[in-house]
Amino acid sequence: MKNLFFIAVIAILSSLNVSAQETPSSTKETSYGVTAGFHVSNINFSIDGLDSTVVDDLGFFIGLFAEFPLSEKFSIQPEFHYSIVSDESLAVSPTFENLVLPVFLKYYITEKFNVMSGLLFDYVMHKNFENYTSFGLGIGIGLGIDITDSILISSRYSFGITDRTEFSSSLFDISAKTNVFQIGLGFRF
């Protein structure tokens, strides 16, 4: 499964690079960079229709990104993050170690300010409890500011759309979805 995840990452990044190069109207150049920041994640449980947020944890991420311009206002930005989430109430650290692949469509409202939305794929490499699936999918929205040509900040919220539980019961219906708020700083080369 890990090999399939990495093959998908390479295929997506390769195809985006080809389509960005084929866009003649693009006035911006393809750029690459590093990013890091903090996030708050929570797991929203639903048991027979009753919702509850049980886990609300802090973590950090570090990663790489590429931005492929499609036009003057639009670009695609795939990223690859390594993320750690810890829950001190469980007395174990880290609670989760994830590989996350966000792919965002960015729209520049002004030359420096943008909004973004897209999909996030994640793979949990390490978890300290059972009955939680390794693969997940989310939808993300966010805001970004290019402070300079090299330095940028972003803030995002992702909504988990896949059920992360591997638990089944004939007595009740249970599901769990992971939502994440993050703020990060990036450096573009």
Residue-level pLDDT at 23: 36
pLDDT tens per residue, range 144-164: 999 999 999 999 999 999 887
Distance CA 138, CA 16 (A): 20
Output the pLDDT for position 20. Answer: 43
Dihedral Cα 90, 92, 94, 97, nearest 10 deg: -80
pTM of the model: 0.77
Residue 42: give its domain's CATH number. 2.40.160.20
In this model, does residue 17 exceed pLDDT 80? no
Q: Please give the residue range of the domain that contains residue 46.
A: 2-188
Q: Based on the structure, what is the number of domains in the chain?
A: 1
The whole-chain average pLDDT of the chain stands at 82
DSSP state of 19: H
List beta partners, residue 29. Answer: none
